[in-house]
Amino acid sequence: MKNLLKSREFWLATGIIIIIFGVTLRAPGFARFANLADVFNNTSMLIILALGQMVVILTRSIDLSMAANLALSGMIVALINAAYPQFPIPLLMLIASLCGLALGAFNGILVWKLNIPAIVVTLGTLTIFRGTIFLLAGGQWVNASELSDSFIQMTRHNFLGMPLLSWFAILIAAAFFLFMTRTPTGRNLYAIGVNPTASVYAGINVGKAKFISFCISGLMSGFCGFLWVSRYVIGSVEVANGYELTIIAACVIGGISIAGGVGTVVGTILGALFLGIINSALPVINISPFWQMAISGSSIILAVILNARSARNKGRLILKQKSEGKT
Amino acid sequence: MSDNTPKRILPDRLDTPLKAALFSWPSLLLAVTIAIFIINSFASPYFLSPWALSDATFNFTEKAIIALAMALLIISGEIDISVAGIIAISSTMMGVALQFGADTPTLVIVGMLTGLICGAFNGVLVTRLGLPSIVVTIGTMSLFRGISFIILGDQAYKGYPESFAFFGQGYVYWVISFEFVLFLGLALVYYVLLHKTNFGRYIYAIGNNPIAAQFSGVRVARVKFVLFCLTGIMAGVAAVLLTSRLGSTRPSIARGWELEVITMVVLGGINILGGSGTIQGTVIAAFIMGLVTFGLGLLNVPGIVMSIIIGALLIGVIALPTLLNMLRDRLKQ
């Protein structure tokens, strides 16, 4: 019980419930299951992407190229679909995922083999990926009329009362939970984040583990590229522009420490849901959507302050990077 | 972020000053700049006209002005991702001041002051509360731009006074724009600040080892706070220039600039992990980015394609020394 009260996930979940409750007072329909399921469905992609980002941040890296990777992988399948409408959809899903995986692996190789800081690598690949979309599509959009119906319906299929999109998010979240808590590779990722030097002595290949984490974030981006095109029925250079920072925001709100090694799958999911709920609650309680950006910005700052507080309470050896500012 | 501390090897003999200067990062960048310059003048007949070159400077001076302060911040081991957000909020505040009938000097002061306040806010969060700057400034980036969105929504401020247009559109002498002169002047100021003063040495000390710097009597938190304020003011200056050049304010102004500014700094040879780098490098990197985008623009290459080249340049220039070292090691074996 004491542990529960101390856990970040508990307080985040409580916060989300309070928000839902508060909004429901103003707009009675908000807490209905159908509406909440809808909110979850809208947040599905953010959850998947945030989980991918989480793995990278845990190893003390960061992937700024996720949104661009998503847009590029999405554009590739959108173009294939527009050119060959008969092309089987599951194969498209596979192509998008593999494309994302390849782009992520490219990031990973640069970080692993050339030792370039992740933030520099992904800053570079972010612009390269976006530019490539433009080259591939010749500056054109792929819009609804060009995409085949079966592609568009893919994320909308109703299965056991929920759209497939939501099921994808649930399945992937479950897979991540098992991966992070039950496999040696998953545990290694935590170890690297907490203490890279000790990890080397423990026989963990730090570079390779970072490479794997970038492959995972790339795979998730690619898969979401497919989902994004199907869900929003558009392929363009502008897809998910600036979304990379929203993904990081979800992670930070979910309690992932940017200094690495701290954070859970459940926390990340709750962080993404928190942003999703705020986004969908604002119009319901008649607050202009223009407030959205400032509110998510404030939540990030608040979340970081809380993260720092809880880390201090634990009395854990403060990381080198953190002690800099504390004087 | 990553932990690739390089092995420190003491050489038997130091390089001669000439050799060191020739193989330094700024000289490498300078060579790249000259190459780009030559390629551009062959590729397009319009490139070598004074007016064209003058236009080219407008492409990068505003970003480069921020990059100067950002360079110091990154050397000290911190980063500010909110600079584009600061431009948005500064520009919006100038618009608000305009609605109250502010004259040109007041507008400039409002713009720079807003920048300073935002920078100080970042500084307080990072130095007082001990938060990681990369996340804090991602948060304040949304917050600052978000405030612009709250104030402006889908509207825009227009009708800045004519005298205000000088900052972004005026020329000091012939084809030499005010923006360009300001950039060169600030570059000189930052060069002196970083390379010729105690304060500059503190920045390097902090970037290399904040704890050792602290024990040596450097006021780490204060230096970092000042650097955040400086970056904020520079973003405010950029906001004045940009608003003056565009003649209007929208909340989406300067969107995505943060990444371009950081690219400029990193391309300029400043270690993203802190501790090393020069102002000369940053200035030359600014020229490289300006010339590349402008030259390609003359060849009708769309902006988004240029970003591929900028991105490749960023990774390529950083990977090059490592790749060469690997190659050398392999040849030795």
Q: CATH number, domain at B236?
A: 1.10.3470.10
Whether residue B14 is contained in a domain is answered as: no
Whether residue B219 is contained in a domain is answered as: yes
B293 within 8 A of B308, measured Cβ to Cβ: no
Q: How far apart are CA A151 and CA A43, in angstroms?
A: 20
Q: What's the average pLDDT block by block, 10 residues per block, for chain B (333 residues)?
A: 54 67 76 82 78 81 95 94 94 93 91 96 93 87 92 88 86 85 95 95 94 93 96 96 92 84 88 89 89 81 79 82 83 81
What is the residue type of B175? V
pLDDT of amino acid A321: 52
Whether residue B297 is contained in a domain is answered as: yes
Domain ranges, ordered by start, for chain A: 38-241
Least trusted range by pLDDT, from A7-11, A203-207, A208-212, B159-163: A7-11
pLDDT for residue A211 is more than 90: yes
Q: Decide if B144 and A290 are in contact by the 8 Å CB cutoff.
A: no
Q: How far apart are CA B157 and CA A7, in angstroms?
A: 47
Instruction: DSSP letter for A147, please.
Output: S
ipTM of the predicted assembly exceeds 0.85: no
3-state secondary structure (DSSP) of residue A10: helix
Q: How far apart are CA A207 and CA A200, in angstroms?
A: 10
Q: Decide if A242 and B135 are in contact by the 8 Å CB cutoff.
A: no
Q: How far apart are CA B288 and CA B290, in angstroms?
A: 5
Question: Which of the residues B315, B322, B325, B330 would you substitute to probe the A interface, choosing the one with the greatest number of A C-beta atoms within 10 Å?
Answer: B315
A122: left (phi over 0), alpha (psi -120 to 50) or beta: alpha
Total domain count for chain B?
A: 1
B261: left (phi over 0), alpha (psi -120 to 50) or beta: alpha
- Which residues of chain A make contact with B127, given a CB cutoff of 8 A? 325, 327
pLDDT of amino acid A325: 44
pLDDT for residue A209 is more than 50: yes
Distances (CA, A) of A320 to A123, A246, A323: 24, 27, 6
Q: Decide if B142 and A296 are in contact by the 8 Å CB cutoff.
A: yes
pLDDT for residue A80 is more than 90: yes
Whether residue B331 is contained in a domain is answered as: no
pLDDT of amino acid B130: 85
For residue range A246-305, what is the model confidence (pLDDT) as tens digits? 899 899 889 898 888 888 999 999 999 999 998 888 888 888 878 888 888 888 888 888
3-state secondary structure (DSSP) of residue B76: coil
Q: How far apart are CA B198 and CA B158, in angstroms?
A: 44
d(CA A137, nearest CA chain B) in Å = 12
pLDDT of amino acid A318: 47
pLDDT of amino acid A324: 46
pLDDT of amino acid A323: 47
Mean per-residue pLDDT over chain A, rounded = 87
Q: How far apart are the first and last CA of chain B?
A: 32
Whether residue B330 is contained in a domain is answered as: no
Q: How far apart are CA B300 and CA A171, in angstroms?
A: 47
Distances (CA, A) of B137 to A124, A227, A249, B125, B147: 20, 30, 11, 9, 15
Whether residue B221 is contained in a domain is answered as: yes
Q: Which of A20-29, A55-64, A255-264 has the highest mean pLDDT?
A: A55-64
Strands A158-159 vs A162-163: parallel, antiparallel or unpaired: antiparallel
Q: Does the pTM of the predicted model rise above 0.90?
A: no
Whether residue B212 is contained in a domain is answered as: yes
pLDDT for residue A58 is more than 90: yes
Tell me the residue range of the domain where B245 lies. Answer: 56-316
For residue range A133-170, what is the model confidence (pLDDT) as tens digits? 988 888 788 888 888 888 888 888 888 888 899 999 99
pLDDT of amino acid A186: 92
Whether residue B44 is contained in a domain is answered as: no
**Rounded mean pLDDT, A310-325:** 50
